[in-house]
Chains A and B, each alone.
Chain A
């Protein structure tokens, strides 16, 4: 019998568990048992550990199924090529992509220029969002003087926005 994990070696460790009134049997080789021993310890049960494996497989399958509605690539295509197929991919694969963007750039917030054609109110909204984030951080680290300054900037920006809308 081959190991349930590596599918290469002969399984020599046999486990039986009762899960949801069903008897589950797992057969693992020495090597995989040794490698996974630490991980297994951290899990509540072997079944949870192995079901995590299957969840991962389901997730991978799901990623292969989701296609960008505009250019038709899957997230797997992106992983293989290292390039997205179109601008829409950023939104199709947001859940998978944003953690990668965060890893590369340490943030997911654009702070640079906007195309001149973008409406003023969108730019103001963006500026407000950045200021609010800074305010939150300032309060967290108890930098109250800075927080007061940021709050004033927010007020100023809002006032400007209102007067322009009138």
Chain B
């Protein structure tokens, strides 16, 4: 399965979909729990096993889910788990070694179901570009189908019942991954983040809670899950993401207008480093790839496609490099392999 994932260029990072220059991906997850079982942290191993088999059985009855792979987390190495985390298919919490956890994963990476994470089910869909509506109708459909075979804990008054009250109600967390180098370079990002927080949106780095904004990526998601319909949550997120995107475009234009030469110089230098480096860390590579993205978006660099760059953002991460090489690598070896993978992918067009 991991080989298939490594080859997969059709997933959420293919740079397709609306506004995918700035909105890299759209993700929605819902939290659900099955009636008459304690929540995972309180459930015994045998209860957790029962939950896993119930969910697994349900998915085999659903057309859209039947083909998905079923994986027990306990059977994966820490490298495998890290690999899935780097692809945003599981959460940090799900990588922590604990028995009684499982994962259902579509090979196209459209959806995944984490079983016995914080809640019994964390159903997630992820698409390339800015398409909250598509993501919502897909996950809503999967949730409806699952509801036919699984009795979810629900109260008409307070909605879907979750282990943490912060997810109560809709259990829905919708998020967009934004690439905002323009706002970072023009130093407007802090203001934007502050504003988003005031409007009750959460902003996090590339890998969710507690991760810094590596490569100028920011994940924006809704905070409140109760008191709004799913459509209302999605519409309001759509509204703010749209606005942030507009600000990013304005920032990029003003950079070009005021500092065209310096700006062009920076993007070409980044490409120069990426095409010639022999040792490079993830952090450094991310920052140059980010410059390369904006250079391609603004038409400064023409012979590289965004899908190649998006793919690089994923495959140069530590677990991906080790999977590519088929062995465990030390940090210095990883820096070496990373540089050669980047050089190979960014090779000059010979025409």
Interface residues of A (CB under 8 A from B): 70-71, 73, 81-87, 90, 97, 100-101, 104-118, 122-123, 125-126
Flag if A117 contacts B151 (CB, 8 Å): yes
Residue of A nearest to B35 (CB): A87
Flag if B159 contacts A112 (CB, 8 Å): yes
Q: Which of A70, A87, A125 has the most CB of B within 10 A?
A: A87
B172 within 8 A of A: yes
Flag if A70 contacts B226 (CB, 8 Å): no
Which of B33, B148, B166, B225 lies in contact with A87, CB distance below 8 A? B33
Which chain B residues border A70 with CB–CB below 8 Å? 38
Number of A-B pairs whose CB atoms are under 8 Å? 106
Given contacts A83-B41, A87-B35, A117-B148, contact A110 B158 (CB under 8 A): yes
- Could you pull out 12 A-B pairs where Cβ atoms are within 8 angstroms? A70-B38, A81-B41, A83-B118, A83-B163, A86-B38, A101-B158, A101-B165, A106-B227, A108-B158, A114-B154, A118-B154, A126-B157
Which of A85, A87, A111, A117 lies in contact with B153, CB distance below 8 A? A87
Q: Complex Cα distance A115/B227, Å?
A: 17
Which of B37, B118, B163, B226 lies in contact with A107, CB distance below 8 A? B226
B207 within 8 A of A: no
Given contacts A84-B165, A109-B226, A110-B156, 14 further A-B contacts (CB under 8 A): A70-B38, A71-B39, A85-B41, A90-B155, A90-B158, A100-B165, A101-B226, A105-B225, A109-B227, A110-B155, A110-B170, A111-B169, A113-B170, A115-B147
Flag if B229 contacts A84 (CB, 8 Å): no
Residue of B nearest to A126 (CB): B156
Which of A82, A107, A114, A116 lies in contact with B156, CB distance below 8 A? A114
Which are the 3 A-B pairs with shortest beta-carbon distances?
A: A110-B159, A107-B227, A87-B153
B2 within 8 A of A: no
Given contacts A87-B161, A113-B140, contact A106 B224 (CB under 8 A): yes
Please provide the chain B residues from 142 to 179 with a CB less than 8 Å away from any CB of chain A in the complex.
Answer: 144, 147-148, 151-161, 163-166, 168-170, 172
Q: Complex Cα distance A82/B153, Å?
A: 19
Q: Complex Cα distance A117/B168, Å?
A: 19
Flag if B229 contacts A111 (CB, 8 Å): yes
Nearest CB in chain B: distance from A122 CB, A: 6
B232 within 8 A of A: yes
Q: Complex Cα distance A123/B41, Å?
A: 31
B228 within 8 A of A: yes
Flag if A113 contacts B155 (CB, 8 Å): no
Flag if B168 contacts A105 (CB, 8 Å): yes
Residue of A nearest to B156 (CB): A126
Q: Complex Cα distance A126/B157, Å?
A: 8
Residue of A nearest to B37 (CB): A86
Which of B39, B154, B169 lies in contact with A84, CB distance below 8 A? B39
Residue of B nearest to A71 (CB): B38
Which chain A residues border B140 with CB–CB below 8 Å? 113
Which chain A residues border B168 with CB–CB below 8 Å? 90, 101, 105
B350 within 8 A of A: no
* Per-position 1/0 for B8-38, Cβ under 8 A of A: 0000000000000000000000000101011
Flag if B156 contacts A122 (CB, 8 Å): yes
Which chain B residues border A101 with CB–CB below 8 Å? 158, 165, 168, 226
Which chain B residues border A97 with CB–CB below 8 Å? 165
Flag if A118 contacts B227 (CB, 8 Å): no
B261 within 8 A of A: no
Nearest CB in chain B: distance from A74 CB, A: 12
Q: Complex Cα distance A166/B229, Å?
A: 30
Q: Which of B118, B158, B169 has the most CB of A within 10 A?
A: B158
Q: Complex Cα distance A123/B164, Å?
A: 25
Residue of A nearest to B152 (CB): A115
Which chain A residues border B159 with CB–CB below 8 Å? 110, 112
Q: Complex Cα distance A86/B153, Å?
A: 9
Which chain B residues border A107 with CB–CB below 8 Å? 226-227
Which chain A residues border B39 with CB–CB below 8 Å? 71, 83-87
Residue of B nearest to A91 (CB): B155
Flag if A112 contacts B229 (CB, 8 Å): yes
Q: Complex Cα distance A113/B151, Å?
A: 15
* Per-position 1/0 for B243-259, Cβ under 8 A of A: 00000000000000000
Residue of A nearest to B169 (CB): A110
Flag if B232 contacts A90 (CB, 8 Å): no
Residue of B nearest to A112 (CB): B170
Q: Which of B33, B35, B42, B169 has the most CB of A within 10 A?
A: B42
Given contacts A83-B164, A105-B227, contact A116 B148 (CB under 8 A): yes
B80 within 8 A of A: no
B230 within 8 A of A: yes
Q: Which of A97, A109, A111 has the most CB of B within 10 A?
A: A111
